[in-house]
Amino acid sequence: MLIAVAMALFALGLLGVIVRRNMLVMLMCMELMLNGVNLSLVTFAQQTASAAGAVLVLLVFVVATAEIAIAIPIVLLLVRRKHVMDLGAYADLKG
């Protein structure tokens, strides 16, 4: 059951990335994806009693933190340029 929940969280996160326009909201949906992954890891760790699952979860925490630490400033810099948070305005790498 929990596996299904994890899958659902991941899928919702992915859908959010595809669907939402606001950049910060997209970032948050990516966090949601990571959370879904974490849940599945913990579930497996608990079911098979392996320490690897928990360790990996901690590592995912670290990575997520580092990622956010960089992603938010990037978003800030981008917005400072164009003054718009809508992702549709950032199609400069077209073609």
User: Least distance from C-beta 6 to other proteins, angstroms?
Assistant: 10
Query: What's the sign of the alpha-carbon dihedral 78, 84, 85, 88?
Result: negative
Residues 6+ apart with CB under 8 A from 14: 29, 33
User: Are 87 and 26 within 8 A, CB to CB?
Assistant: yes
Binding residues among 21-50 for other proteins as defined by CB under 8 A:
21-22, 24-29, 31-32, 35, 38-39, 42-49
Closest CB 79 distance from other proteins, rounded Å: 6
Residues 6+ apart with CB under 8 A from 68: 27, 31
- At closest approach, how far in Å is the CB of 16 from other proteins? 5
According to CB under 8 A, which residues from 65 to 84 bind other proteins?
65-66, 68-70, 72-77, 79-80, 84
Q: Does 8 sit near other proteins (CB under 8 A)?
A: yes
